[in-house]
Structure 1
Amino acid sequence: MLDERDRKILMALQEDAGLSVADLADRVALSLSACSRRIQKLEETGYIARRIAVLDREKIGVPTTVYALVKTVHHSDEWIELFRKAIADIAEIVEAHRLTGHYDYILKLVLPRVEHYDVIYKRLVKKVELFDVSASISMETLKSGLSVPVDYAE
């Protein structure tokens, strides 16, 4: 069961996972050892899945975002596993979701420029059969982040 201090720890670590335990302890009004124990418990119980660095996409050279909507006529476990492996091998595909509705999957790609989408598209269709793929280019990011609300955690 999480309390308010656990939630504050989670919110602070989502903003900056590189915070020292001392700085974090100060923010949530805990001793260094108590804060360290709470962080360890949050990791052990799976509330903290991992700690990562968020890179500047402009500096890394992949400022363009493309969303590809995918339809398939295949829905077997074998095909889904083949698709999963195909997208896992393409670093430019940074997210993939199975959907309800008109399309079966949505893929988020980060690319050096929009023309590079064709390279990735060809790599993907060589690995797995798709019925239809429709791509949209993100013109502007209005909201972006990896943080999730912690108010619902128990």
Structure 2
Amino acid sequence: MDALDLIDRKIVAELMRDATLPIAQVADKVGLSQTPCWKRIQKLEATGVLTGRVSLADPGKLGFGLTVFVGIEAADHSADWREAFAKATRELPQIMEVYRMAGEMDYLLRVAVPDMAAFDLLYKRLTDAVPIKNVTSHFAMERMKFTTAYPVDTLSR
């Protein structure tokens, strides 16, 4: 997709802040009428700029009081290993995010679990599913900042 124009960037910024806004409010905030605004939203969805609409939840209130960042050093770097690792992480819903990294670790995972016992069970399931050379876990004590909204430039260029 071509670079987003100012109106598209404003639409994306508004929807990242609150995807429940009625089209009329989004349109008003970005300076369009409803129909052109809705058409732009549909185009942003069709081109993959907007990938979904979700409600955010407090993990602690859902019983997921422990967040763990797990660094993985792969046992090997073959396509078969990567596929097995990807499958294992997809099948463990407590693994919220997986990133393939450059640097000292090969993969970084964000894990949400109720407690240490649940993390230990997840650790065992993951390491039973695929051979791993090294695992380093970092336990979050406090979430100081969290957002899902990217800092989209909404100023004219």
> TM-score, structure 1 length as denominator?
0.92
Alignment of 1:120-139 (within 5 A): 120-139=122-141
Stretches (4+) displaced over 6 A: none
Distance 1:82 1:11 in 2: 37
1:41-93 Cα distance to aligned partner (Å, 9 max, x none)? 11112211111221121221112100111112310011100000001000000
Alignment of 1:99-110 (within 5 A): 99-110=101-112
Displacement of 1:32 in angstroms is 1.0
Structure 2: which 5+ residue stretches go unaligned?
Answer: none
1:97-149 Cα distance to aligned partner (Å, 9 max, x none)? 11122211111100112332101001111111111111110112222111113
1:102 alignment partner, SS class: coil
Q: Please, what is the CA RMSD of the aligned residues? A: 1.5
Structure 1: which 5+ residue stretches go unaligned?
Answer: none
Distance 2:87 2:46 in 1: 29
What amino acid is the match of 2:7?
R
What amino acid is the match of 2:13?
M
What amino acid is the match of 1:125?
T
User: Which one of the candidate residues 3, 10, 13 is aligned to 2:12?
Assistant: 10
1:134 alignment partner, SS class: strand
> Is contact 1:5–1:28 with CA below 8 Å preserved after alignment?
yes
Aligned pair count?
A: 152
What's the counterpart of residue 151 of structure 2?
149
Distance 2:16 2:43 in 1: 16
1:38 alignment partner, SS class: helix
What's the counterpart of residue 27 of structure 1?
29
Distance 1:125 1:107 in 2: 14
Identity value in percent: 39
What's the counterpart of residue 74 of structure 1?
76
What's the counterpart of residue 94 of structure 1?
96
> Is contact 1:114–1:137 with CA below 8 Å preserved after alignment?
no
What's the counterpart of residue 56 of structure 2?
54
Distance 1:147 1:104 in 2: 26
